[in-house]
Amino acid sequence: MGKTIAEKIFDAHHVDTPSGDIHVIKLDAVFCHEITTPVAINDLVSRGKDRVFDAGKIKAVIDHVTPAKDSKTAEQGKLIREWTRRQNIKDFFDIGRNGVCHALFPEKGFVRPGYTVIMGDSHTCTHGAFGAFAAGVGTTDLEVGILKGVCAFHYPQTIKITVTGELQKGVYAKDVILSIIGKLGVNGATNKVIEFTGPVVDRMNMEERMTLCNMAVEAGGTSGICYPDMITVEYLWDFIKGDYPSKEDALKDFKKWQSDSDAVYDEEITHDVSGLKPLTTVGYKPDQLKSIEDMGNTKVDQVYIGSCTNGRIEDLRAAAEVLKGKKISDDVRGVLSPATPGVYKQALKEGLIDIFMEAGFCVTNPTCGACLGMSNGVLASGEVCASTTNRNFNGRMGKGGMIHLMSPACAAATALTGYITSEDKIQ
Amino acid sequence: MKNFNGEILFLDRADINTDEIIPAKYLTEITKEALKPYLLEDLKLETFDPKKDIEGKKAILTKQNFGCGSSREHAPWALEMNDINVVIAVNFARIFKQNMFNNGMLAVELDEKTIQDLFNTFQGKKTDLITKFEKGIFIFESEDQRMEVPFTITDFDRSLITAGGWVEYADLHY
């Protein structure tokens, strides 16, 4: 009987089977940010176990609230900063070098095919785009990961989604994942890995694959996962060229992380996206969707472009293409947060930041802040935001606010008109 | 072991998410104690007022997909700080459920029909939960009704409860 990619990764990292289908697996990377890590650090200190399993496998960043907005967030930053120094964690990204974790760590080449990755952050599933098993965990799992380099999971069951057809112009990876969440429902993939495959995924670049995998958790999924291929090799080449004589050799090695043709799935779905139109969410759950063309005159107060879902260079390019030479509506506040310093610098080089600023956008530093209503773009009660983020929960971006999730291009179009608009309506 | 007995809070809705359990603006707290006043602050339910209805409750009965959304362990901690150590639902989001057991707290799934029966029988009445952990039995008790419901959790989750949590377990085994 064949195996899925997730099963192969689990088998290669097996440490223990304490009971039933629970597998304790060895971790290749433990990622940390300043919101969920400090309590783990304090607990380790209070237990007299202030140590780490492998300083080289721990990567840390301050990204949720940066620069610190008040004394409490300053304390959180201080705690993780001092811990990384104390534990000799070299890969720590503080202000000036910091960015949204799930955009920054891939950029640094920290995730490889076949890896196991945890972080105290639900969108850790993003890193499955590299053919890794990557799962969000709570602070206690993170703490044990830091201390012991292991984590316990149910042996993975997988939903295979084969994405077929041709995406129409103006339809993006964001629309694809929203439509998949709509199909599965918000708990349709709970305790399962979602494998994204098929010709549409094969054609996607790494950034689009990250957008897909990023929102696996919005259907309850433990990890999203894509098969590594030459696109993965190209993305990682600068970091792996010392390990392989050629890209073809790297590809050959990466190919071991692929599901067998006779692998057993929990569910197999073919998802044809040829007729897919630009989507947005309505209500407070990411599986409540409407075509943007059916939204009527839905006025917005703020447009937010950024986050671990859609704050990468391709996203900024798509939005800037719509905004070029135009001004956003007087009734809209436009906020752009390039997800990493690398994205920011590249956008500057390409003149994209000029386009955003000429259009009337405020450009903030890289941070997660607005997405979860912590800083840099919090909504007031009754306000509506068109957002490229991943969650439209009630109160998520500010108490009493309403969020409509959409692609960067549609967010840009919406900023221009002041009401929810698809890209094709902009001349 | 923590306390798994006492009065039940009924939350009659599916998909109650972690932002509703504890809003992100309180994630800047670095002690669990500080979360206590904010539990379920943003949950909008017709018959629920967080200021009045949490006090004295020791257990939650709810519907599908409780704890979906963020990985924040602040959600179980906010429950724990209010002395609510057991949540019974049709099912849970994975991370929330694991976080509960990792803290030595109980997250138990009962089938949809049983949950609906419990809502029908007890919602609106002062109802106590009595947990026979070793036997795997819940007893629901109001002034005029009593129901005994068996439950199962995995051996691993059971060992986390008896060990006092995942840190203690992992430290012993790995």
What pLDDT, in 10s, does the model give residues A82-129? 999 999 999 999 999 999 999 999 999 999 999 999 999 999 999 999
Residue B137, Cβ neighbours under 10 Å: how many?
13
Whether residues A259 and A312 fall in one domain: no
Whether residues A240 and A308 fall in one domain: no
Whether residues A197 and A175 fall in one domain: yes
Whether residues A14 and A104 fall in one domain: yes
Residue numbers of A between 296 and 315 with CB closer than 8 Å to B = none
- Distance (Å, whole) CA A300 – CA A337: 18
Q: Do A220 and B68 touch (CB under 8 A)?
A: yes
- How many distinct structural domains can be found in chain A? 2
Task: Output the pLDDT for position A282.
Answer: 97
Neighbouring C-alpha atoms within 13 Å toward the C-beta of B161: 21
What is the per-residue pLDDT across B78-91, written as a single tens digit (0 to 9) for each?
999 999 999 999 99
CATH number, residue A344: 3.30.499.10
Q: Does A48 touch chain B (CB under 8 A)?
A: no
What is the per-residue pLDDT across A373-388, written as a single tens digit (0 to 9) for each?
999 999 999 999 999 9
pLDDT bracket for residue B47 (50, 70, 90): confident
Tokens for A358, please give them.
Answer: 């000429």
**Distance of CA A222 to CAs A37, A155, B159, Å?**
20, 11, 23
Whether residues A256 and A311 fall in one domain: no
- Distance (Å, whole) CA A233 – CA A257: 13
Whether residues A236 and A284 fall in one domain: no
Whether residues A266 and A134 fall in one domain: yes
- Nearest CB among B42, B102, B159 relative to A140 is that of B102
Chain B residues lying within 8 Å of A191, measured CB to CB: 94
- For A105, the enclosing helix (H) or strand (E) is helix A101-107
Contacts (Cβ under 8 Å, ≥6 apart) of A2:
A259, A260, A261, A262, A263, A264
Whether residues A186 and A211 fall in one domain: yes
Task: Output the pLDDT for position A228.
Answer: 98
> What's the angle, vertex CA A419, arms to CA A414 and CA A422, rounded to 5?
45
- Nearest CB among A20, A24, A186 relative to B174 is that of A24
Give the range of the structural domain holding residue A79, as residue numbers without chain letter. Answer: 5-271
- Nearest CB among A136, A394, A396 relative to B44 is that of A394
Whether residues A241 and A350 fall in one domain: no
Whether residues A236 and A311 fall in one domain: no
Tokens for A123, please give them.
Answer: 């969108």
Whether residues A249 and A318 fall in one domain: no
pLDDT bracket for residue A1 (50, 70, 90): confident
Chain A residues lying within 8 Å of B161, measured CB to CB: none
From A229, A245, A271, give the residue that closes a domain. Answer: A271
Q: B6-173 has which CATH code?
A: 3.20.19.10
From A208, A238, A271, give the residue that closes a domain. Answer: A271
Where exactly are the structural domains of chain B? 6-173
Identify which of A143, A128, A133 has the alpha carbon closest to the alpha carbon of residue A177: A128
